[in-house]
Structure formats: structure tokens, C-alpha cells
Structure 1
Amino acid sequence: MDLPNTSSLRHRNVPAASTQVSEAGMEKDKRLDKHEVYEFGGPWGVTAMMTGFPILMYYLWICLWFYDGQLVFPSSVDDIQPFLGRMWGHVKQDAFPTPYAFAMYGSLMAFQLLLAFIMPGYQQEGLPVPSLGYKTLMYNCNALTCWYTTLVTVTVLHWTHIFRLTEIIDNFGELMTVAMIVGFAVSFAAYFITIWRGEQIRMSGNFAYDLFMGACLNPRLGSVDLKMWLEVRIPWVLLFLIAVSGGCKQYEVYGYVTPNMAFMILATGLYINACAKGEECIPQTWDMFHEKWGFMVIFWNFAGVPFTYCYSIVYMASHDPSKYQFSTIGYVALYATILTAYYIWDTSMSQKSRFKMQTQGTFKFRKTFPQLPWGTIENPTYVQTEHGNRLLTSGWWGYARKMNYTADWVQSFTWGLVVGTASPIPYFYSVFFITVLVHRCGRDFERCAIKYGKDWDKYCEIVRWRFIPGVY
């Protein structure tokens, strides 16, 4: 199939008309900006998730820390009550939200918010938002300077013994509870403040469902976009600090850090650094452009990501290294896999976001480290839609529609693989993540089919595969 000539699509050299939305496109955008159908099982489904997920977090942590990383269940019907009593006992004794835990978690949140206000950053214009009459928002992308400042700060605090990083892993249960409390509190506050201000959009009329999905789209506190701040600064910074805390704990107990724990420090470090160095690409994503700021996003970033994606770290920090040692070849394969997956994920995300910026005429090359080869596509091919948008068909996006998801999932799988078969719980991240990605992919494709019509069919003929080229 012949594709449009794209020789003129280089950096900012894009006709202004390429960013305009047709009248028919505007009508479709209006439809997509309204609540039509329930997702996630509707009110009952989201209520079950809001109540069940915190319980699941406690259960998996208890199994990981107190039961040798194995899943435990009542041995009989008669054992159900005693079993629940033991579980509750662990929560009360080892996960009670102490003032010290509130101080630790609250200090990190306050510090990250302060840095977001005061650190210099890169100004990036977002995509036109249909909900705002196609107005574009400016984003102060200063995550990189905040990230480096955080690294220096925690290093000084640790080496001067003002705050030893081992305190994070030693108080994991208490911190997790505090994170859950903050997640619930901010979710309710964001919902009611939005309703009070009359700024709610895309509402269903059902309280539980609207609380879960959110009422506001682009909440801001001065110059800080709260949704982007929360998604970039909090979960991944905290997850990295948990990994470093686990490494410090190993060094304190054994006098060395295992290659497995070093792997997790590298993996989480790569992830937060990628988010920070390429923060200007985030305003082009679905999360910023369409997803509302509700419990699903707020709780997950305050509590879910940092306290569930870290299960391999928690296991290694509390168990003898002999339980999960690999051969030299095993370690080489593990590190090679994460670095390859990271490269594909980093460059695919960069290609897509920079293509959108090229189309909008807002792309400038930002010098941050590391800038990987093939992060920007020269002369990209695309499908020009009647809606007005362009669908990228070259780079990684010519192989599959969601190559970034595939690479991201492979990374998540290695985060469980790092402990081998010692415990099934660290694989929770990859199992949960593939479920989320498949569901999100379905939501995205359904939305695109409505938005682009026959142009979406044309695009799918060109890029046949969803996740894995030649397979699916």
C-alpha cells in the first residue's frame, strides 16, 4: 500500500494545517468526550477494585515477608477465622501507620512538590485538548533537575546518618499503609473540589464510578500539573529509593550487594531517569491528553506502583541470597534482556511523542542523557486521517501498534525473573501489567475506530500486529 510522501516532515517544518481538526473530527471528539459506556465492570467493578486492591496488597506483602514468599491459604473451613486473625495481626503489628511513617512519606511528597515549583525546567506545549476547545497547555518539564537533586539529597542524608535509607525497607509495612491513606484522601479531595468548582467532565452520574475514573482532567497547582507530577515524580522516585534501600540493607547484613539487587537498582533507575529525561514527551500521551485524575490514577501512583512493583526487592531484602542465585550466563542473559527491552521501550516512546510534536510544530531536540539512537524518525511515514491527525507507520510503530507496551511488559517480567523460582509473588507485576495493557489497548483501539473510521481500518492494514510482530 502506498503511503503519503513525508519528505517535508522534519522537526518543525510541518504545515500548520496538519494540526487542524476537521468539523467531522470535532463531532467525533465531542462524542469521545462524553460518558457513553461503563468500563472496568461499571460501578460494582470499580467498587470491588477500590476495596479489594488494598486488601490484596496487604496479603501479598504478608506472604512475602512472613511466609517465605509463598502464597498461604486457610487449611480448612475451620481455619478461615484463625487465618484472617493472623493476617489482621500482621497488619496491626507491622503495618500500623505510625507518625514516623507519615513523616517519612510526607517529607518525600513535600520535597518533590517543592522541587516541582522551584527547579528550572524545559517548557513544552501539550496537544490541543478537545475538552478545552482545543486549547493547548504548557508544561514545565523539570523532572530531570528534580531527579538529580533528589539523588544528591538522599546520598547526603544517608552518608551523614541523618536518614539512613535502610529505614525505608525496615518500615515498609507502615509506609505502605500511609501511602494507601494518602491515595484515598487525595482521590476524594480531588473529586469533591472539582465538583465544588463545577469543572467536572465526562461524568456518568454514579458516585463510585466517577470517583474511580475521576472528575477533573488537568488539575493544576500554580505552575505544577498535578497529574504529570504524580505520574512521574512520586511512584518511580519512591520505587527507586525502595530498591536502593534494599541494596543498603543487603550491604548492612551481608557486606555486599547481590547482582540481583543491583539489577533492580539499575532497572528502577533506568525507568525514573527515562521518565525524567524525556518528560517533554509525556504531554503527548493518552494519560495527559484523555485520562482523568481519579482514584485509578491517584491511588495507583501514590501506593500501587511503589508498593507492588517492588516485590522482588522486598523478597531479596528479607531472604538469604542463596535462594535466588544465578549462573554467570543467567546474569548475562538477564541484564541483556532488560537493556534490550529498555532500548525498544525508550526509543519507541520517543519516536511516537516526537512525531506528534513534529506534526504540531513544537518539536525541539532536548539535550538530556542518555539520548539513544533512533529516538527520532527522519522522514516518517504515516496515514493522514480525515479527522486531521496523523497515524505513524514507521520506526518501531511500523512493526506493531503497541511495541512500547511489549517492551514495557518484558521489563516487568524481568523484575520477577530476577528471583527465579524462589517466590511467585514478584511476578505479580508482570501478570497484573499484561492484564492492564491488554485492557488499555482495547480501550484505545475502540476509541481510535470511532475517531478515525475508515482511516483506522487503513492503518490496521498497514500495521497488522498489535503487540508482537508476526505473532499477535
Structure 2
Amino acid sequence: MKRKDESETMKEDESIASICPKTRNNHSANESEISKKIEENMEFGGILGTAFNIVALPALVLFLNLMCNGQSCKFGQFPIFYNGWSYFFDWDAVFIFFSWVSFQAFLALLPVGKIRYGLPLKDGTRLKYRCNGFISLCLSLAAFMCAIHNDLPIDIVYNKLFQIMVTALVFSYLMSLFLYIKALSMPSSKLAPGGNTGYAIYDFFMGHELNPKMGNLDLKFFCEMRPGLIGWVMINLCMVVKSFKDNVGPSPAHLLVTIFQGLYVFDALWFEDAILTTMDITHDGFGFMLCFGDLVWVPFLYTLQGKYLMNYIHDTPLLILIGISIVNCIGYLIFRLSNSQKNQFRQDPKHPSVAHLESIPTAGKKRLLVSGWWGMCRKPNYLGDIIMSICWSLTCGFGSIIPYFYPIYFIILLVHREKRDSMQCQKKYGLSWQKYCEKVKYRIFPYIY
């Protein structure tokens, strides 16, 4: 489907072409060349690849959660569906999901927390963001504790987790469709660079509008950091509570992975404003890719380790758990220190903590770090992320491959993401980026890749 402003331009060109056949031929050739360039720059396998992902990614989430349940957690062993469609759909689950999203939206709109501005848009304006994610997390935890204190049935979240996931999946499809239709009436300046090809399926997946809003709520920023990310912590805690109710309590490994992942989310929300410079916010539109990823993929796949350890208790030796904890802390330090160094350099290159670092100037005002953490490899924060993801799965032992899906997928994701980012930087910085790549040779894994 072509955009309105583009179709109007085509009509004008056609009127000129009717007078001059040569112009018509040139127009057709130019249009063909433009379409070819658009298709060459498409990501995720282009139209066919994104169409496949729209079906395959949700199917994968359903498949893995069906495989890992109270009956078993191995490939090829589906649970017994005692109640037919009620295994997939439940009105209580619908209520829980929409209550949770509404509660997080309410917290996001509270006039508390710091105000930060995003990077300049095409028209030169900068969007204002209310960064109160950490406060929202703390209030969510307080509400969770109140629910426990008042003996509310917390375990219903685990008992209906699959139905809640199906509700979130259906909602992500409907919301993505709504956002795509809404974006059709938007001016080109409001559209996302990567989701503005004119091909409906591709733009639906990538996100047609860059920063869709509903009132004062920035939908992309909200979904990136709130319902799914905080929901990840809440689902983990619900499983810990259920372990106390059903068994003697969670195993040390189960508690450890809950703490690891909880601290990871705490860190993300404490440094919430750092996301404003990421590709998700600055380049990607808000379509099915991010909507599904935020609302379904994160909370219902990243909790597989906790789900596995709740149902299958492992007597992991204490020394091994200590070793895993030490490696996880090393990964976290790499992740946090490298991110902090980059953010500090972006905010104030003359700050004493980063003033000594070597950098390469670009055509604009930015400089590219080539020393410190960012001289070790181009994405040291990804390296720390990967180390932590492996540690979370190691707490599960080696009884099943399913809890290891997260680090396997995460490595593939970050390698692909680094390539996407590198392509964008090559276009943006040109020769400066080539010099940077010559100086910092390794992408993610020093001396390996």
C-alpha cells in the first residue's frame, strides 16, 4: 500500500508522462530502481521473511510454553488438554492481563520521576519522556506484597499463565493492526525510517509510525519498559510464591535465577533514560516486532528458567551456584560499566571519568570511542548481556534444553542486532566508521568475533 503523499506525487508524474512518453519511460525506470533499492535494504528476509516471522515467532512461544509445563519440560511431550479450548482461553486471564496493562499505564502517567528528551526527530523537535519506570517497579512490588499480606490468590497467575499469554498474543496482533491503520493517515515525517517502504506486511511487522501516542502515553516507550519487563519480575515472583504453597519452597537455584533476573530489570529501569538513544526508539517503528516482543516474548519466554526450576527441583551443589553467581556478577559489571562509560561520554566528553579516552571524530558533533571498554570490542555491553544469559540457564542444570533457549536465541539476536547497528552507523558516519572498525576489530567477543 502506497503512502498518501507518494501516491499524489505519482499522479502528478503520470499527468506529465501523458504529455511526454519519454518522461513516462524514465518514470517507470526510476520507480523500478527505487523499489529495487527498498527491497535491498529490507531486513529480516524482506516481505517473505517478515510474513514468516509474524506466524512463526508466536508459534514458537506457544510451542515452548506447551513443552515446558507441570507434566514435563522436554521437546515432543505436549500436555494433556483436559478442558479443550479453556486451556487456551479464559476470562479470568483476560481480566488479569488488561488489569495489569492498565495499572502500568496509570503508573506511567503519574506526574513523578525525571523528565528526559529524546534525540532530534526529522522535523528537529525532541519528544519529552517521563522516566518513572523504577518508581513503577517499586509500586508494583508494594502492590504485590499487599496482595500477599491480604491472602489474595497470587498463584492464579501461574495457574492461568498460558491463557494470559494467549490473551497477550491476541492483543499484540490487534494493537499492531490498529497502529498500522492509524499510521496510514500520518505525514511522512512521523513515519519510521525502517517501516516506511510502502509494503503493507513489511511495514506492519517493522512498525509504520515511529512514535505513536495515545493521549499523553507514548506507546512504544511504555511497552518497551513497563508491562512486559516489570511483568517478567512479577511472573517470577508468582512462581516463587506458588513454590512455597505447593512444595517446601523454591530451591536455591530457583531463588538465584529470580534474583539474577530481578536485578537485571531493576538495572534497566534505574537507567531507563538510556533507552532513548537505542535503535528501538530512534529508528524502529512501533509495529508487530516490538509490540509482540515487549508484551509476549519477554514476559513469557524469559521466565522459562523460573518455570522449569519451580516444577523440577535440582540439588545443585552450593559451590557450583557460587561459581555461577561470580560469573554472572562479572557479566553484569561488563554490561553496566560499559553502558555507563558510553552514556557518560555522550552526555559530557570532558568529564574526568572519560576525558582521557581516545575517540574518532565524525562529520557531525559525535565522536566514536575507541578505548576503555569500547576499545575492547564494539559491543562490550552485549558481551556482558550474553554472559548473564548463560548463567541464568546454568542454574537449571542439563536435564532439558528448553531453559537454554534464552541464551541461544539471545546470542543470535545480539549478533544480528550488532550487524543492523553497524549498517546504520556506516550510512551515518561513513569514513569515520571505517576508521573505527579498523581500530576496534572485534564486534562482540574479543579475539573471537
- Give the whole-Å Cα distance in 2 for the aligned partners of 1:395 and 1:128: 28
The corresponding residue for 1:206 is 199
Q: CA deviation at 1:442?
A: 1.0
SS in 2 for 1:383: strand
Matching residue's letter, 2:46: G
CA gap 1:92/1:44 in 2 versus in 1, 3 angstroms? farther
Query: For 1:249-281, what per-residue CA distance to the aligned partner results, in whole angstroms no more than 9, with x for missing partners?
Result: 111122222111111221221122111111122
- Give the whole-Å Cα distance in 1 for the aligned partners of 2:111 and 2:392: 32
Q: Cα RMSD (Å) of the superposition?
A: 2.3
CA gap 1:126/1:201 in 2 versus in 1, 3 angstroms? closer
Residue pairs, 1:278-289, within 5 angstroms: 278-289=271-282
CA gap 1:416/1:38 in 2 versus in 1, 3 angstroms? same
The corresponding residue for 1:39 is 43
Maintained 8 Å contact 2:108/2:136? yes
The corresponding residue for 2:315 is 325
Query: For 1:180-207, what per-residue CA distance to the aligned partner results, in whole angstroms no more than 9, with x for missing partners?
Result: 0111111111111111334434311211
Maintained 8 Å contact 2:88/2:166? yes
Does residue 432 in structure 1 map to residue 440 in structure 2?
Answer: no
Aligned residue among 173, 179, 184 for 1:195? 184
Maintained 8 Å contact 1:101/1:174? yes
Aligned residue among 229, 236, 242 for 2:222? 229
SS in 2 for 1:196: coil
Does residue 443 in structure 1 map to residue 420 in structure 2?
Answer: yes
SS in 2 for 1:197: coil
The corresponding residue for 2:105 is 113
SS in 1 for 2:249: coil
Q: Which runs of 5+ in 2 are unaligned?
A: 1-37
Q: TM-score, normalised by structure 1?
A: 0.81
SS in 1 for 2:185: helix
CA gap 1:216/1:299 in 2 versus in 1, 3 angstroms? same
Does residue 50 in structure 1 map to residue 54 in structure 2?
Answer: yes
Q: CA deviation at 1:119?
A: 4.3
The corresponding residue for 1:410 is 387
Query: For 1:347-379, what per-residue CA distance to the aligned partner results, in whole angstroms no more than 9, with x for missing partners?
Result: 2222222322226x9x9xxxxxxxxxx9x6354
- Give the whole-Å Cα distance in 2 for the aligned partners of 1:95 and 1:353: 46
Does residue 180 in structure 1 map to residue 133 in structure 2?
Answer: no
- Give the whole-Å Cα distance in 1 for the aligned partners of 2:74 and 2:320: 23
Maintained 8 Å contact 1:284/1:353? no
Larger radius of gyration: 2
Maintained 8 Å contact 1:232/1:276? yes
Aligned residue among 362, 366, 377 for 2:354? 377
Residue pairs, 1:199-348, within 5 angstroms: 199-202=190-193, 203-319=196-312, 321=313, 324-348=314-338
The corresponding residue for 1:10 is none
Q: TM-score, normalised by structure 2?
A: 0.85
Q: CA deviation at 1:213?
A: 0.3
Maintained 8 Å contact 1:382/1:391? yes
Maintained 8 Å contact 2:67/2:79? no
Aligned residue among 138, 156, 165 for 1:167? 156
Q: CA deviation at 1:93?
A: 4.7
Q: CA deviation at 1:466?
A: 0.9
- Give the whole-Å Cα distance in 2 for the aligned partners of 1:216 and 1:188: 12
SS in 2 for 1:394: coil
Does residue 138 in structure 1 map to residue 128 in structure 2?
Answer: yes
The corresponding residue for 1:469 is 446
- Give the whole-Å Cα distance in 1 for the aligned partners of 2:79 and 2:178: 30
CA gap 1:38/1:343 in 2 versus in 1, 3 angstroms? same
CA gap 1:390/1:91 in 2 versus in 1, 3 angstroms? farther
CA gap 1:382/1:412 in 2 versus in 1, 3 angstroms? same
Matching residue's letter, 2:260: A
- Give the whole-Å Cα distance in 2 for the aligned partners of 1:90 and 1:310: 24
**Which has the bigger relative contact order, CA under 8 A and spacing at least 6?**
1
Maintained 8 Å contact 2:69/2:79? no
Matching residue's letter, 1:237: I
SS in 2 for 1:256: coil
- Give the whole-Å Cα distance in 2 for the aligned partners of 1:435 and 1:95: 32
CA gap 1:449/1:249 in 2 versus in 1, 3 angstroms? same
CA gap 1:138/1:385 in 2 versus in 1, 3 angstroms? same
Q: CA deviation at 1:35?
A: 7.6
SS in 1 for 2:444: coil
CA gap 1:240/1:432 in 2 versus in 1, 3 angstroms? same
- Give the whole-Å Cα distance in 2 for the aligned partners of 1:292 and 1:91: 39
CA gap 1:307/1:410 in 2 versus in 1, 3 angstroms? same
- Give the whole-Å Cα distance in 1 for the aligned partners of 2:136 and 2:236: 19
- Give the whole-Å Cα distance in 1 for the aligned partners of 2:83 and 2:262: 30
- Give the whole-Å Cα distance in 2 for the aligned partners of 1:90 and 1:404: 45
Q: CA deviation at 1:393?
A: 2.2
- Give the whole-Å Cα distance in 2 for the aligned partners of 1:437 and 1:293: 19
Maintained 8 Å contact 1:46/1:212? yes
Query: For 1:156-193, what per-residue CA distance to the aligned partner results, in whole angstroms no more than 9, with x for missing partners?
Result: 0122023x332221111111101101111111111111
CA gap 1:110/1:200 in 2 versus in 1, 3 angstroms? same
Aligned residue among 436, 442, 445 for 1:459? 436
CA gap 1:345/1:165 in 2 versus in 1, 3 angstroms? farther
- Structure 1 range deviating more: 240-249 or 462-471: 462-471
Maintained 8 Å contact 2:148/2:154? yes
Matching residue's letter, 1:309: Y
- Give the whole-Å Cα distance in 1 for the aligned partners of 2:370 and 2:304: 37
Maintained 8 Å contact 2:131/2:272? yes
Q: CA deviation at 1:228?
A: 1.5
Maintained 8 Å contact 2:442/2:448? yes
- Give the whole-Å Cα distance in 2 for the aligned partners of 1:115 and 1:351: 30
Matching residue's letter, 2:417: R
SS in 2 for 1:332: helix
- Give the whole-Å Cα distance in 1 for the aligned partners of 2:208 and 2:259: 37
- Give the whole-Å Cα distance in 1 for the aligned partners of 2:167 and 2:302: 17
Quote the sequence identity (%).
28
- Give the whole-Å Cα distance in 2 for the aligned partners of 1:119 and 1:268: 28
